[in-house]
Structure 1
Amino acid sequence: MAEQTEFVWSDLVGELQDGPRDPYLDQAAGELFPDKTTLQIRVASTWALKTIEDRHLDRIRASLRARYEEPYDVEFLIDASLDPPEKVVEEVEDGHDSPTEVVAAREPRREARPRGVPGVGEQASGLNRRYTFERFIVGSSNRLAFAASLQIAESPDGSRVNPMFIYGGVGLGKTHLLHAIGNLAQAKNPGLRVLYVSAETFTNDMVEAIRRQETSLIRNKYRTMDVLLMDDIQFLQRKEATQIEFFNTFNDLHNANKQIVLASDSSPQDMSQLEERVKSRFMWGMLTSIDSPEVETRTAILHRKAEDLGIPDFPNDVATYMAEHVTSNIRELEGALQTVYQHTSLQSQPLTLDVVQGILDPHAGDGEAFRGQPVSTDAIQRVVAEYYHMKPTELKSKRRTKRVAMVRHIAMYLCRQLTDLSLVDIGRDFGGRDHSTVINGCVKIEREVNRDPQLAEIVQQLTRRIAGKR
């Protein structure tokens, strides 16, 4: 029985892991009881239970029925002896205000180990291996940024363009290019010291180093790099001490011919709260912008993302329709594709133009774009608050606990993605907050969505729920 049980569970897990590996599924343990036609799955926490149930339960039952030609019940047991996924543990230990902490707020937490400045003494580069030049769709809106990034990655010695500053709106591919530079540079030069980091992480590292009175730690971490890739540079605004440390770090690296690549939502000229001497350093090298992709590029992106989702023969007329109606950024385009994929697969609908029009635009044919009827801030706040078992008024309140702040940021991010409201209008609807608070919140969630599949899936779920509230 033990051998059969072990085989069935490991084989079943292999079946289910046909995409990115699910850490909660990896940590679980399954035992089959044929006499009771029951599969018992032990998980580390209630959140792991909910995640596996939401993502895999239907397929688990279908697989058991196919194997044994009879329906099996599936039982879940909480087993605290099972370690939670390492990804969650690391983010808890870092102690940052990350959305994953909110996502995993219902989990039992292990006591964090004492640590130094996050990342100091570690070999981790912060790179996401999924982001490569091969997977970047090139069009007229990003061709120059792509070519310059590729040139730097092939010769990351600071001799070509240094620094390079990439700027453009949310969800247009800046982060993808930063990771692609680092990945290719390391592949060509295995001993190269490469670090991808956000300006917020740089700030947090500095605060921690000052608190511990060990500022040499942050210098050892950043000034020993061969390639520094820093995202969300706009986050340095209004942080005078951090700007000083960044200025000195920049000078040390540049003087040593170390490659620096920076990315921001705004051009240096538009960052009014940045010291002029810091701005001037950004202007030393090459400034290149990424604009919203044209319809041909959006169509190509849809075909690539459809391949990733395992959609065979994605119809050209569907891709063209979606590309013409979802125009703001790549992130919204991906969200629309996910919505179509989930609706058609769960309801066994054909992927035709008529079906897609009905999914994305209940009023197709009236000249309206993807959003159809406008989405209100109130609707977004209600859906997000309900998901996290909070009251909508908490999102507008002055409360600044980690949990409330992060849920508020998620709601702000969705307002930015799903409405045409200005930053000022969004801030007003969240208790009169200023536009910089909205920017920082949206940037934080955008970054986490890019690197955390779990949060990305939750954002997609929320988007679908909000669409149903129109």
Structure 2
Amino acid sequence: MQRQLTLDLGTPPPATFDNFFAASNHELVTRLRELEGALAAGPVADRTFYIWGEPGSGRSHLLKALVHEATGRARFLSPQSALTAYVFDPRVTLYAIDDSDGLSGAQQIALFNLFNEVRAHPTSALVATGSAPPMGLEVREDLRTRLGWGLVFHLAALTDEGKASVLKHAARERGIALADDLPAYLLTHFRRDMPSLMALLDELDRFSLEQKRAVTLTLLRNMTKSARASDNDEAPADPPPAPDPATTDLLGDPLSLDSVSAPPETASTRFK
């Protein structure tokens, strides 16, 4: 397996609905984008969502976008969140629970109670994600049932062909003439999630302007070499080797040659 390369492209951009590539998931993205406004406008029939999909499909991205773009109070929860974070707060409008099938037993009970509280308060909504449809989740039966009560969406991940098409489209929007073999190379050797690929495309665009050259595979390789060279220049020098304990005294000072005796030729060698 080829090792995937990474470049230090700085802090990744925040997850937003704009930098999520919806493909066949337009209905879901539209509903999530409009959810907070719908809650403010009046009673909403569908206020609980469950989103499932394979790793890399963008489940976490959508939840973080929901919280990031909320104008009111929103809370992102995951298996790493404290148990107290699952306590209902009427001031919180949106609850976003990631990887619900990874929750501990106590967290599952807390999410079950939180789900019931949200259902009882018409001004709040809950969006949860998992790796399988509700009936396939390895969680408590009562929680599994609750997660299947609301709207359930399967988040379809982009295929490699879809990712390549997105990259080509984004390149055209930036006025970049992207070499035909470049998208496949990026998908093979670099991070495959779309935010990372788009950040890499932006970096390639900047580097091509600096070099006054077209965006080709050769330019990409030159950019990675430049990034590695920069990393090596900034790397600290190797520390000096530790002194050999056989040639130092208890304080680490070198012993004189006369005081270092060679082992007798008859010494045992069974511990070599």
Bin of the TM-score, shorter chain as denominator length: 0.5 to 0.7
- Aligned equivalents of 2:187, 2:9: Cα separation in 1: 27
Distance apart, 1:333 and its partner CA? 7.6
Match of 1:137 among 4, 8, 21: 21
Equivalent residue, structure 2, for 1:146:
29
> Helix, strand or coil for the counterpart of 2:51?
strand
What do residues 381-424 of structure 1 show as CA deviations (whole Å, max 9, x unaligned)? xxxxxxxx9xxxxxxxxxxxxxxxxxxxxxxxxxxxxxxxxxxx
Match of 2:115 among 250, 266, 284: 250
Distance apart, 1:322 and its partner CA? 0.8
Equivalent residue, structure 2, for 1:51:
none
Specify whether residues 55 and 235 from structure 1 end up closer, same or farther in structure 2 by C-alpha distance, changes over 3 A only. closer
> Helix, strand or coil for the counterpart of 1:199?
coil
Q: C-alpha root-mean-square deviation of aligned residues, in Å?
A: 4.4
Equivalent residue, structure 1, for 2:187:
326
- Aligned equivalents of 2:118, 2:13: Cα separation in 1: 25
**Corresponding letter in the other structure for 2:30:** A
Distance apart, 1:197 and its partner CA? 2.5
| Maintained 8 Å contact 2:135/2:148 | no
What do residues 64-92 of structure 1 show as CA deviations (whole Å, max 9, x unaligned)? xxxxxxxxxxxxxxxxxxxxxxxxxxxxx
Specify whether residues 315 and 234 from structure 1 end up closer, same or farther in structure 2 by C-alpha distance, changes over 3 A only. farther
Equivalent residue, structure 2, for 1:291:
156
What do residues 276-333 of structure 1 show as CA deviations (whole Å, max 9, x unaligned)? 11011111111112222143454325655x79xxx96332444x74158728985278
* TM value normalised by structure 1: 0.37
Equivalent residue, structure 2, for 1:270:
136
Q: How does 1:212-231 map to 2 (within 5 A)?
A: 219=87, 222=89, 224-231=91-98
Equivalent residue, structure 1, for 2:75:
195
Specify whether residues 339 and 297 from structure 1 end up closer, same or farther in structure 2 by C-alpha distance, changes over 3 A only. closer
Distance apart, 1:261 and its partner CA? 0.8
| Maintained 8 Å contact 1:178/1:196 | yes
Distance apart, 1:260 and its partner CA? 0.6
Q: Which has the higher contact order (CA 8 A, sep 6+)?
A: 2
Distance apart, 1:223 and its partner CA? 5.6
Any stretches of 5+ residues in structure 1 without a counterpart? Answer: 1-53, 57-127, 187-191, 210-216, 360-388, 390-470
| Maintained 8 Å contact 2:49/2:150 | yes
- The question of 1:235 aligning with 2:102 is answered yes
Match of 1:261 among 102, 115, 127: 127
Q: How does 1:47-196 map to 2 (within 5 A)?
A: 130-140=14-24, 142-156=25-39, 159-186=44-71, 192-196=72-76
- The question of 1:282 aligning with 2:155 is answered no
Equivalent residue, structure 1, for 2:267:
none
What do residues 327-378 of structure 1 show as CA deviations (whole Å, max 9, x unaligned)? 8985278359739947x9499584444426878xxxxxxxxxxxxxxxxxxx
Specify whether residues 356 and 139 from structure 1 end up closer, same or farther in structure 2 by C-alpha distance, changes over 3 A only. farther
**Corresponding letter in the other structure for 2:127:** V
- Aligned equivalents of 2:86, 2:49: Cα separation in 1: 23
Q: Which has the larger helix fraction?
A: 1
| Maintained 8 Å contact 1:172/1:293 | yes
- The question of 1:355 aligning with 2:221 is answered no
- Aligned equivalents of 2:112, 2:105: Cα separation in 1: 10
- Aligned equivalents of 1:153, 1:298: Cα separation in 2: 33
Equivalent residue, structure 1, for 2:177:
315
What do residues 203-262 of structure 1 show as CA deviations (whole Å, max 9, x unaligned)? xx22xx5xxxxxxx8636x564221111122221xx222211111111111111221111
Distance apart, 1:145 and its partner CA? 2.2
| Maintained 8 Å contact 1:156/1:227 | no
Equivalent residue, structure 2, for 1:75:
none
| Maintained 8 Å contact 1:167/1:289 | yes
Specify whether residues 298 and 281 from structure 1 end up closer, same or farther in structure 2 by C-alpha distance, changes over 3 A only. farther
Percent identity of equivalent pairs? 18
Specify whether residues 288 and 169 from structure 1 end up closer, same or farther in structure 2 by C-alpha distance, changes over 3 A only. same
Any stretches of 5+ residues in structure 2 without a counterpart? Answer: 1-7, 223-237, 239-272
Specify whether residues 130 and 241 from structure 1 end up closer, same or farther in structure 2 by C-alpha distance, changes over 3 A only. closer
- Aligned equivalents of 2:186, 2:200: Cα separation in 1: 15
| Maintained 8 Å contact 2:178/2:216 | no
**Corresponding letter in the other structure for 1:293:** L
> Helix, strand or coil for the counterpart of 2:76?
strand
| Maintained 8 Å contact 1:198/1:233 | yes
